[in-house]
């Protein structure tokens, strides 16, 4: 049995923490929300101060929003790294630029800690079932130390090299496709509705046709059911596609599809949809064309 701390019990982190707990490990859960920590404890987890949790653990899983939050949680004043034992492993899961991952890994190494650059994909459902895809890079020792948590959280661990940065680069590739597919999904639904097609029929036909995608099949039902309860928020995409754009700019290559999708998510956020489910990107197209979506009065 491993002792694991999960920092960040949001929509992804809570599923990951529960998956590790279900695998028979001792799991501490930390979050800025007292209610989330109380709910995790009610389900069999443990909670306490960062000193108590990190000090007890051999594995720390960091599931926060971005590079700044990752750095603050790990290396800020009183952060987790101050309390982890030498040789403990950090599994860093936020979507961040590769250069930031390399810098965080170097800081961890300077403190005698192992670091795995390990962004995840699969959504809240697969986080809850322990079937995430994890894109990981770091030294062999980090992979070995992290294995109990990795096995509990994922169906697939993609080992992408022995240095931090490759995992984050691969996540950027994935997010480029996911963001473009999601924006295209909204565009396609809006186009069909503008031509008098019912949203349910669009979903039914495209899902078994060449134009489908995982994003179309996963988010399309949210539009059909007028269900924009947040699983993955619109606000995730300006951040993630912004990272893709930064990486591409540093490589000197154009990413026009990324730019187009990024513009639509920014428009959705500016219209007040930043905190709702990202299927709400369809509203950008609907507003522009004066369309009524399912459930609209």
Per-residue model confidence (pLDDT) at position 248: 97
Is 90 exceeded by the pLDDT of residue 61? yes
Per-residue model confidence (pLDDT) at position 297: 79
Which residues does the annotation mark as catalytic?
A: 171
The radius of gyration of the chain's CA atoms, rounded to the nearest angstrom, is: 20
Phi then psi dihedrals of residue 204, to 5 deg? -60, -45
Per-residue model confidence (pLDDT) at position 283: 98
Is 90 exceeded by the pLDDT of residue 87? yes
CATH pick for 168-289 out of 1.10.1040.10, 3.40.50.300, 1.20.1300.10, 3.30.70.120: 1.10.1040.10
Q: CB count, 10 Å around CB of 231?
A: 18
CATH pick for 3-163 out of 3.90.1330.10, 1.10.540.10, 3.30.300.180, 3.40.50.720: 3.40.50.720
Query: For the chain, which residues make up each domain, given as ranges?
Result: 3-163, 168-289
What's the CA gap between 266 and 275, in Å, rounded? Answer: 12
pLDDT digits (tens, 9 = 90+) for 150-196: 999 999 999 999 999 999 999 999 999 999 999 999 999 999 999 99
pLDDT, averaged across the chain? 97
Per-residue model confidence (pLDDT) at position 269: 98
Angle, in degrees to the nearest 10, between helices 166-194 and 199-206: 130
What's the CA gap between 63 and 9, in Å, rounded? Answer: 8
Cβ contact 63:40 at 8 Å? no
Is 90 exceeded by the pLDDT of residue 145? yes
Helices (H), the chain: 13-22, 34-42, 50-56, 67-75, 98-110, 123-129, 140-153, 166-194, 199-206, 214-224, 236-251, 256-268, 282-289
Name the percent of the chain lying above pLDDT 90. 98
pLDDT digits (tens, 9 = 90+) for 216-236: 999 999 999 999 999 999 999
What's the CA gap between 227 and 3, in Å, rounded? Answer: 38
Is 90 exceeded by the pLDDT of residue 260? yes
What's the CA gap between 101 and 91, in Å, rounded? Answer: 11
Per-residue model confidence (pLDDT) at position 170: 98
Is 90 exceeded by the pLDDT of residue 101? yes
Name beta bridge partners: 114: 89
């Amino acid at each position: 049995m491993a002792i694991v701390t999960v920092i960040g019990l949001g929509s992804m982190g809570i599923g990951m923490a529960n998956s590790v707990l279900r695998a028979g490990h001792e799991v501490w859960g930390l979050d800025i929300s007292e209610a989330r920590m109380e709910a995790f404890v009610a389900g069999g987890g443990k909670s306490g101060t960062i000193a108590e949790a990190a000090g007890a653990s051999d594995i720390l899983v960091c599931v926060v929003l971005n590079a700044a939050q990752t750095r603050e949680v790990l290396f800020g004043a009183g952060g987790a790294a101050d309390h982890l034992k030498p040789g403990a492993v950090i599994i860093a899961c936020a979507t961040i630029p590769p250069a930031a991952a390399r810098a965080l890994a170097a800081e961890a190494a300077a403190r005698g800690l192992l670091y795995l650059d390990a962004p995840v994909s699969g959504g809240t459902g697969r986080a809850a079932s322990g079937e995430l895809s994890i894109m990981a890079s770091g030294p062999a020792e980090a992979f070995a130390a992290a294995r109990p948590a990795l096995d509990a959280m994922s169906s697939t661990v993609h080992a992408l090299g022995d240095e931090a940065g490759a995992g984050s680069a691969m996540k950027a590739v994935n997010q480029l496709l996911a963001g473009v597919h999601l924006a295209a999904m909204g565009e396609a639904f809006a186009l069909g509705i503008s031509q008098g097609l019912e949203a349910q029929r669009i979903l039914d036909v495209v899902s078994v046709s060449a134009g489908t995608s995982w994003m179309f099949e996963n988010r399309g039902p949210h539009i059909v059911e007028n269900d924009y309860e947040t699983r993955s928020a619109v606000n995730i995409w300006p951040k993630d596609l912004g990272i893709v754009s930064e990486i591409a700019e540093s490589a000197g290559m154009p990413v026009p599809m990324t730019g187009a999708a990024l513009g639509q998510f920014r428009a959705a956020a500016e219209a007040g949809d930043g905190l709702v489910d990202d299927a709400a990107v369809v509203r950008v197209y609907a507003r522009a064309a004066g369309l009524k979506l399912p459930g609209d009065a």
